[in-house]
Every structure is written in structure tokens, then in C-alpha cells.
Amino acid sequence: MVTVEKERIVWVAIILIILFLVWETLKELITPIVFGITATYLAYPFHVKLSKRFGKRTSILILLIVVSLLSVMFFIGVALWITDTLKNLYSYLDAFFSWLGSLKVPGFLSSLFDAMATSFPEKLRSILLQYTLSLPKFALQLIVFLAVFYASLSNADFLAKEIYELIPLSNRELGEKLIDKVKDTIDAIIKTWLFFSIIKGTFLALGFYVFGISNVAGSIAAGVLCVILELLPVVGGWMMWLAGAVLLLKRSLVLAILFSIYGIMTISPLPDYIIKPKKKAKVSSVVALVGIFGGWIAFGVVGIILGPIAIGLLLALIDAWREISTRQPSKVHRSQDA
């Protein structure tokens, strides 16, 4: 018995050491790994369609080339404009949070806004230092991202099968429910909330640049702030095109009117009534809001994905516990029935 206990302790110690070494090896690469897996999940439906037409290998090659080109363009943009963009964004956010602090909102939103006002400038400052001084590190992360994307897309069917086979038979229903919750959360946050917010931010950045409201870096910063505003309740991207129209009004009434029409049609409110992305989401807006910004505050950029997933899994566990509680009467009730 003593020998068995000692052997168990040794194996536990070995496993803990291995996990510690793996964590130390991968902790700086968690962000590209998570984004690589997420990109695979998003690209998989396109992979299935392309595979039917061109074959599996050709489909993977096409998607890899597309994602690689986007990654290279993103890297060039970061190298050229990241410093000026973050400086502009810092000043925009400072003005925005000053205005936000003057609003009368519910207690939990007020606390969240205060935390955002404190953490966002610090996060931006750290990102500014990180990517200004360490572009080679960023390039390495992009390489890891592409490698994870290629490997996971090439083995997507096998990985999906393995994940389901790892679910214990005794709790298979709960395991499948948790996996479905992760899918719903990623679909809602990435495909719905973030996708449409980024599209609106892109239109706003283009509008700011084409109408001459700001330079490239300032326009990108305005687009990023538009994305952030689109994720918040009550406020939205309309605030950014309205601010741009006010700035244009000082130069030309015609340009201000044209930009306002552009903003209404491409940013808000027209797209909200036509597409209604948030109503299609299977995740509560509160979960999305707290998950995205809470995840950002806690984990950085990767928290945009991890935060909502963590909260979604917690809610799924609570729902499962409620179902189990309703199926199995308490010991008190059973003793009374006896």
C-alpha cells in the first residue's frame, strides 16, 4: 500500500513538472495559438465547400495563402502605423472615457466603465512598447499563428473526433453541452458581434481617410474606437461618424452632409435594422460585454475570445446543475416521502 502511494505521488509530481514545463514553453505563444485555433473554426465551413470542388489539399492551400496574405498585410500595417495609431487611439479613448464617466448608468456598468478607463490606457501603453520595441517577436507570433492554423485545419476532422471521444461516457451529455456552448459563444462573439463591429470600424476608418478628417493612423484609431463603441450597450459607432460630421461641418456643409449619409448607411443605424446581428446571437449581450472587456482586462487581446467562453461555460455548468437538481430530489424530500 505504501509503495502504491509513493508511486502515485511520484507520477503526480512528474505530471505537474511536465505541465509546468509545457506552460513555461507555451505561455508567450498562447495568443497566436488561440487565434490560430479560432481562425480554423471560422475557416472550416469554407474549407468544406472548397474541398468538394477542388479537393482537400487544394482547399487548405487556398485558405492558407489567403490567411498568410492577410497576416503579412497586418504585419506591414503594424510596422508602419502602430505607434501613431495607438497614440491617436490613446487620446480618443481618454476623451471618450471622460465623457462616459459623466453618464448616469446602472451600478455594474459604472464599475465596468471605471475598470475599462483604468486598464485600457495601461494595456495600450504596454502594447505600444511591446510592438514598437519587439517587431521580431510579433513576426514570430504570426508564424506560430499560421503554423497552428495550417496544422489544425489539416487535422480538423480528426481533432473534432478526438475531442468528442475524450468526453467521459458517464457525463457525455454535460460534455457535449459544454462543447455546444463553446461553439455558440464563438459564433456569437466572433461571427456576429466582432465581425460586424470590425466591418463598421473598417467603413468608418475609410470614411475618415477619404473625407480628409484624419490621416491614416488617426483614421485607423477612429475605426478601432468605433469597434469598441459597437460592443458597448446604448452607445455605438454612430457617435464616431457624428463626431466626424461635426469636424467636417467646420470646413464644408456639403461634406458634412455626405459623410453623415455615409455613416447612416454603412455604420449606424441602417445596418442595425437590416442585418440585426445582435438579435441573431445565441449569447446574452451582457455576457458578451462583460466577457469581451473583462477578458481584455484580465488576459489582454486573447481575452476577447477566452473571456466570453469562460463565462459561457460557467453558465452552461449552472444550467446543468439546475437540470440535475430538478431530476434528483433532495435527500430531505426523499426521507419525507419515505
Show me where the domains of the chain are located.
32-281
**pLDDT tens string 251-267:** 888 998 999 999 999 88
333 band by pLDDT with thresholds 50, 70 and 90: very low
* pLDDT of the residue at 133: 52
* pLDDT of the residue at 109: 62
Output the CA torsion sign for 210, 215, 220, 224: negative
**pLDDT tens string 190-238:** 777 778 888 898 999 999 999 988 888 888 888 888 887 887 666 778 8
**pLDDT tens string 74-116:** 888 777 776 677 777 777 777 766 666 666 666 666 666 666 6
| Cα 174 versus chain centre, distance | 25
According to the 3-state scheme, what is the secondary structure of the chain?
Answer: CHHHHHHHHHHHHHHHHHHHHHHHHHHHHHHHHHHHHHHHHHHHHHHHHHHHHHCHHHHHHHHHHHHHHHHHHHHHHHHHHHHHHHHHHHHHHHHHHHHHHCCCCCHHHHHHHHHHHHHHHHHHHHHHHHHHHCHHHHHHHHHHHHHHHHHHHHCHHHHHHHHHHCCCHHHHHHHHHHHHHHHHHHHHHHHHHHHHHHHHHHHHHHHHHHCCCCCHHHHHHHHHHHHHHHCCCCCCCHHHHHHHHHHHHCCCHHHHHHHHHHHHHHCCCHHHHHCCHHHHCCCCHHHHHHHHHHHHHHHCCCHHHHHHHHHHHHHHHHHHHHHHHHHCCCHHHHHHHC
Would you call the peptide bond into 233 cis, given omega within 30 degrees of 0 as the criterion?
no
Taken as a whole, the chain contains a residue count of 338
Q: What average pLDDT does the chain have?
A: 79
Average pLDDT (238-250) is 86
**pLDDT tens string 48-58:** 999 988 888 99
3 band by pLDDT with thresholds 50, 70 and 90: confident
Average pLDDT (129-152) is 81
332 band by pLDDT with thresholds 50, 70 and 90: very low
Residue 276 to residue 258: CA distance in whole angstroms: 24
- Could you tell me the pTM of the whole model? 0.70
* pLDDT of the residue at 258: 93
* pLDDT of the residue at 331: 46
